Structure 1
Amino acid sequence: MPSTPVRLSPLAWATALLPLATMHVCYLLSASEQLVPWCLPWFEGCTSISRASRSGTAYFVFKAGMLPACVCMMLFWWANRHWLRHMRVEPKIWWWLGMLAPLPLALYTVVLGHEGDTPYLLRRIGVVGFFGLTFLAQLGLSVSLRHSPMSAAGNLLLRLCGFTLLVGIASLILGVIWPEHYDTMDDGFEWALAVLINLHTLRVAWLWQRSGFAVNVSSVS
């Protein structure tokens, strides 16, 4: 008896919304518990995602939200491979980078809240690894879509990747020319990059839903 294809747009929505919701809920919890100041962290940089999530109630919420999100991310990039194949576009190695990206994020999530030089180093590796690998995977997906029936969507996503890259470069430049104020700005850039990364996934989720993307799980490899 043939199995019914499974629509995967809920997976993409979860991949985008779960990290966004988790980090913002953690900030609200920490601010309400007076562990961090009240502000608009994306613009004011009053606190980092780490500081807003490493103590109090947020410590448990962050781990409970981000570890399942890592699993969603791995499945999301696995599914992107099959989405492109449905449109007769052969994906390159970028989808493997996307599947690897949640591993440093999981490392970051596990060690967050622990003090010392080693946990700090592991957190930095986790942040840089996650953002770097995810950006490369998103760039690869955007370029691949330009060669598909969804070329217009690919162009839009490619422009979003370009803007994300400009934000990252601006962060590096300001760190060199204005180091005395960079700690505050760095926190704001961290929030902005996290939001931009998830905006890309939100757009892909909408494309999956609009196209009715589904897979027969028993037949994919």
Structure 2
Amino acid sequence: MNADDARLPLWPLPLLIALLFLVAAHAAYLLSIQAGHVPACVPYLEGCVSISRAARHGDGNHLFRLLVIPCAVLHALVWWLARHWLRGGRLMLVLGVMSAIALAVYATFLGTEGEAYRFLRRYGVVVYFGFGYLAQLALMRRASRMQALPASVIAWMSWIAMAMLALGVANVVAGLAVPDPAAKDRWENVFEWWLGLLMIGWYGVLAFSWRRQRVAVTLPANT
């Protein structure tokens, strides 16, 4: 590396993913409450509204799209950089990029009408969470084998991954065990909000670790 080459730290990118998604979901919900589109509650406890419904109408929808579509681009960039950082991990990259594309599709068609758009929204969010989760597991596995992350960071990421898995199982159980459709919807909404929070929390841990380890890309100086 040339002495004049610049090093660009990577930790702001996963941190920005977490912040953008956090602001997008909650700000959109507040705007929708103010406009009377959705009821007010603590969705993490009461489940009166899903993330999708909270961001489906009016200014909340516009804000959500404005923040989440760039967030999807950041997802893809982080996974590409993670493959560069770990010197491999093609499956991780493919899963991460597909998750990012699914998030972009979901945000793009949120609030639109029609069966085809409903299909794209529904499976967009499923693919985002599912493939994103698998990409996270792949990163943890490769980083652990290469000792690219401290054991404490891997442990935190593992706890988050186990919590996400537990929520997924609980969602399936609730769907089978709860007979009342309204109660079932409330439980699904609660699980969705917590799953989203855990997902972006994982990126927050990655940002913390990259900052602590000073992970960066080298930008060649102009000659």
Structure 1 residue 92: Cα displacement: 5.0
Q: Cα deviation per residue 1:109-155 (whole Å; 9 max; x = unaligned)?
A: 11111122221111111011100000001111122232215233112
The residue matched to 1:40 in structure 2 has which SS?
A: coil
Task: Name the % identity.
Answer: 35
Q: Which amino acid aligns with 1:121?
A: F
Matched pairs, number: 215
Decide whether the 8 Å contact of 1:53 with 1:62 is kept in 2: yes
Distance 2:7 2:94 in 1: 24
Matched residue, 1:95: 93
Distance 2:65 2:154 in 1: 33
Q: Which amino acid aligns with 2:114?
A: G
Decide whether the 8 Å contact of 1:62 with 1:109 is kept in 2: yes
Q: 1:179 to 1:74 in 2, by over 3 A?
A: farther
Matched residue, 1:16: 18
Structure 1 residue 95: Cα displacement: 2.5
Corresponding position: 1:107 with 2:135: no
Q: 1:120 to 1:30 in 2, by over 3 A?
A: same
TM-score scaled by length of structure 1: 0.91
Matches within 5 A, 1:129-168: 129-147=127-145, 148-149=147-148, 150-168=150-168
Matched residue, 1:174: 174
Matched residue, 2:60: 58
Structure 1 residue 159: Cα displacement: 2.1
Distance 1:179 1:119 in 2: 29
Matched residue, 1:216: 218
Structure 1 residue 218: Cα displacement: 5.5
The residue matched to 1:46 in structure 2 has which SS?
A: coil
Unaligned runs of 5+ in 1: none
Corresponding position: 1:203 with 2:205: yes
Decide whether the 8 Å contact of 1:8 with 1:208 is kept in 2: yes
Unaligned runs of 5+ in 2: none
Distance 2:37 2:205 in 1: 34
Structure 1 residue 10: Cα displacement: 1.2
